[in-house]
Amino acid sequence: MRSIINTELNYLKKIIILLIAIGFSQEFHAQFKYNFETLQGDFGDMVDQPINWDKNDWLTIGSIGLLTYGTMHYDSYVREFSLNNQVYKNTLPVEFGRIWGEPLTTLGITGTFYLHGLATDNIANKKLGFEVGEAALYTSIVTMVFKYAFGRERPRENADPFSFHPFSFRDDFFLSLSSGHTALAFSLSTVLAEHIDNDYLKVLAFVPAFMTAFSRVYQNHHWVSDVLLGGIVGYSVAEFVTRLHKSNSSSQSNLNQDKPVSLFFIKIPL
């Protein structure tokens, strides 16, 4: 029986330590507005989001839930098809997708961009490193809440996609929904895309994230509905973080307070 202090929780501790070190750096305070206080304030804004949600936000939440539930009815078919076609299981594209979603990949990119920005006095790279880490931290927290709240059994343990054990803290077997690797992959790709001006490169930035989603299903670690929800979580949180910082920068430049940033980038008009 595995301890509940698994790799995901260890990752959370590492990213928190890294962001605290960045946030309390004198260089960071002197040359870059985003610090540990910013991290706390942004997290407070995200936690307060449900209070400010309007009917479009709640419709979006409901649509995501219905889409995830509807996809669950196809999970078994996709799993069976994947298990019967394992020729590419250990190929480079599949392994690359797995690696892109690994916590250490996000940690490495966070530290690399920040340290490079610090060494070269490149504020843009410092900001990028901070946003990658911040989005990953919030994404991991949301993902862990989902995992323990749903307690869904992984496909490698049970062929029934509707096997749930809510608030089961026994082991990793019941942490399938949502996919943490996919959420981190989309969080990382979304932040990178937001810092790219070229539209073609923006699209290219998401290719590794989709490969992560594919690899998690193809290697029988997650159901399709797991990676669907994980991708939505990672994308939404990363968009929230980057747009919040853009909104704050615009507000300071124009001396006007922008309207609150919503957690959901895609709106469903009514």
Core vs surface per residue 132-142: b (16+ CB within 10 A) or e = bbbbbbbbbeb
Give the per-residue pLDDT at 173.
87
Nearest to 223 by CA among 173, 172, 270, 179: 179
Q: Are 260 and 57 in contact (CB under 8 A)?
A: no
- Indicate whether 169 pLDDT > 80: no
Confidence (pTM): 0.82
Give the per-residue pLDDT at 57.
86
Give the per-residue pLDDT at 97.
96
User: Do you know the residue count of the chain?
Assistant: 270
Q: Which residues, other chains included, contact 90 with Cβ-Cβ below 8 Å and sequence gap of 6+? A: none
Q: Residue 162 — very low, low, confident or very high, per pLDDT cuts 50/70/90?
A: very high
Q: Which residue has the higher pLDDT, 161 or 26?
A: 161
Domain 1-21+89-270 has CATH 1.20.144: yes
CA neighbours closer than 13 Å in the CB half-sphere of residue 133? 33
Q: Where are the domains of the chain?
A: 1-21+89-270
Give the per-residue pLDDT at 267.
38
Q: Which residue has the higher pLDDT, 5 or 95?
A: 95
What is the spatial distance between Cα 183 and Cα 231, in angstroms, rounded to a whole number? 5
